[in-house]
Structure 1
Amino acid sequence: MRVLIPRGGSWGDEVAALVADAGFEPLILPLVRIEPAEDQARLQQILGQLSEGRFDWLVVTSQSTVRVLPRVPSSVQVAAVGSVTAASLRERGVPVAFIPTKQSAAGLVDEWPIREGRVLWPHAVDARPTIAEGLRQHGMQVSEVVAYRTVPVFESGEELVEAAVQSGSLPAMDEESARRQHEQQAAGQDGHDDALTAVEPAETPIDAVLVTSGSVAKQVARLGLAADTRIIAIGEQTAEDCRKYGLRVAGIAQRPSIESLVAALAATAR
C-alpha cells in the first residue's frame, strides 16, 4: 500500500520511517509550507507584551507557533493543545502548566482550569475561533494575533500535477488527459480551489493519505484521488475539515501524534 505524506522536513522523514516500519510504501510530497505572518508589526508588539509578563496565560496550539515565541516569563502559565506541542515548548525551555485530556481545541476549552485572567493566543491566519470564543465564555480576556500562515506549495493545479508526476504520486498524463487539462485551464477552471480532474482517479497509484490539518486537506482534495483512497486524519477536527473538502475519512488517530496517525493507518489496512 502506497501512502502519501503531504508534509516534508524532519516531520515527513519521521513519518515515512514509521510508515515503512508498518509495512507500507511511504511517498513524501509536501503540499503546504509555513510562511511568516504578514503583519509583523502587530505580531512583534503582542509578543513584546508577552515578554513583559502582561498576560496570565499563553495558549499554544501548534509547533509552528512555538518557533516564533520570544522568552516566556515565569509569571505566564502556558497551555498546550496536545503532547506534541507541549514537547516542542519544553524543548525551548518553556514549562507547560496545562494539557487537556482530549487533545483538541474543543478539549482545551472544555477543560480550561480557571475563569478569569488575560490570555494570549497566537495562531495561524485561518485558525478556527473555537479557543477565543470558548475562553471568552469562561470569563477570560483573550488577545489573539496571527503568528504564521500556511500556504500551498503549488500555486496552480498544473504545478501540483507536474510535481506529483515527478515524485511518482501521479502517473504521467496521456495525450487525451493533457488535452482536457489544457482545455480546463483555457476556460479558467484551474483556479486555486479546483480539483485536478484531468488525471483519471482510477489511474492514481495512491492508496492512503495522512492528513494533519485543514490546509493539507484542501490541497489533498485538489489531487483528485480515487474515491476509495484511504484518508487518515490526525484528529476529529481535521476529519471534519477533510469531509468539508469532499474527502472520505477512513481512519482518525486517537491522539494527535505521528505514532497514533500511523496506527490508525494500520488499523484501516487490517
Structure 2
Amino acid sequence: MSVEAKPLSGLRVLVPRGGTWGDIVSKALREQGAHTVIAPLVDFAHTREEEKLVEALKTLEEGGFDWMTATSSTVADVLQHHNAVIPPETKVAIVGEATAVAFRDAGYHITCTPERENSTHALLEEWPEIDTGEVLRVLTLRSDVAIPVLTQGLIERGHDVTQVLAFRTVGVPASVHIREDIESGRINAVLVASARIAEEVASQFPDIPDTTIVPCVGVNTIEAAAALGLPSEADQPSHPLYETKRALIETVESVIEQSDMLD
C-alpha cells in the first residue's frame, strides 16, 4: 500500500500518553500514514492503598497467589518500582499488547493472554482455569479509575480475589508549544483514550478548532467527552471526517484494550 493510499496519510495526531502505551499507539498510527506527537496529558502517581499494595506484593513473592492479573502496562512499572518478585509457580494473566510488552521488558513471565481480541471479556471467556470449579487465589492490580471488569468477573465465579489499586492517574499540563499547535490547527487530531484524558483535553484546550478531529475510544470516554462539550462533528457518517475518525479509533482499538485506557 502506498503512503498516499493509507487512511491516515498526512494526519498529525496528538497521542496523550507516553511510555509503552504511547509507543505502541504511535507505531500503529504511523503504519496507517499518520504523523504522531506524543504529549502525555496524564501520568501516574503512588496509590492511596500503598500499604495494601506492599502487603499484597509480599504475599505474591511468598507464593500466596495462584494467579495475578494486569490490564495496564503501568502495572509492570509499579512492580519494578517495588522490586516485586513473581514466583514461577504464580501464573500471570494479562490483557493488551502494551501490557504484554511492558511485562516482557521488565522480565516478568506471562501465562495467559486472550487470542481472539485485546479484551478483558475475551480473557474471561478464554481462561479455562477459572471455570473448573476450583477456587483460585488471584491478585488483581489496576488503576484507581479503571472499571473492575476482570475483578468482578473472577469474584462472580467464586474465586478468592485480592484487588488493589496499584496506581493513581493524575493530569499533566501540556507545553506551550503543544497548546499553540492545537489552537492553530497544526495538530489535526487529538486522541482521547479515557474519561480522565477527556477532562484534561477539555480543560487545557478550550479553543480546539472546528476542523480538528477528536476521536474518543470507548463508551465511557465518549460519554465523558459529550458531557464536557468536546467536539463531535465527525460522529455522523455523512460528515466528511467520519471515515478518518473511524480509522483513528479502529487503529487504536486494534492494539490497546479499553481496560488499559484508564477507565
Same topology, TM > 0.5: yes
Aligned residue runs from structure 1 range 192-207, under 5 A: 204-207=185-188
Per the alignment, in what secondary structure is the counterpart of residue 67 of structure 1? helix
1:75-124, Cα deviation, whole Å (9 max, x unpaired): 11100112331222122222211111232222222333223211100111
**Percentage of pairs with the same residue:** 33
Aligned residue runs from structure 1 range 50-199, under 5 A: 50-69=60-79, 70-100=84-114, 101-113=116-128, 114-115=130-131, 116-154=135-173, 164-166=178-180, 168-171=181-184
Structure index of larger Rg? 1
Per the alignment, in what secondary structure is the counterpart of residue 86 of structure 1? helix
Give ranges in structure 1 of 5+ residues lacking alignment: 155-159, 172-203, 261-270
1:10-65, Cα deviation, whole Å (9 max, x unpaired): 75467556655654443333211111212321210111111111111100111100
Output the amino acid matched with 1:207: N
Per the alignment, in what secondary structure is the counterpart of residue 211 of structure 1? coil
RCO comparison, higher one (Cα < 8 Å, 6+): 2
Query: Match of 2:221?
Result: 242
With over 3 angstroms needed to count, the CA separation of the structure-2 counterparts of 1:256 and 1:148, relative to structure 1, is farther
Point out the more displaced range, 71-80 or 205-214. 205-214
Point out the more displaced range, 205-214 or 125-134. 205-214
Query: Match of 1:208?
Result: 189
Query: Match of 1:157?
Result: none
Question: What is the aligned residue count?
Answer: 217
TM-score, with structure 1 as normaliser: 0.69
- State the alpha-carbon separation in 2 of the partners of residues 33 and 75 from structure 1: 32
Q: Over aligned residue pairs, what C-alpha RMSD do you find? A: 2.9
With over 3 angstroms needed to count, the CA separation of the structure-2 counterparts of 1:48 and 1:231, relative to structure 1, is same
With over 3 angstroms needed to count, the CA separation of the structure-2 counterparts of 1:132 and 1:164, relative to structure 1, is same
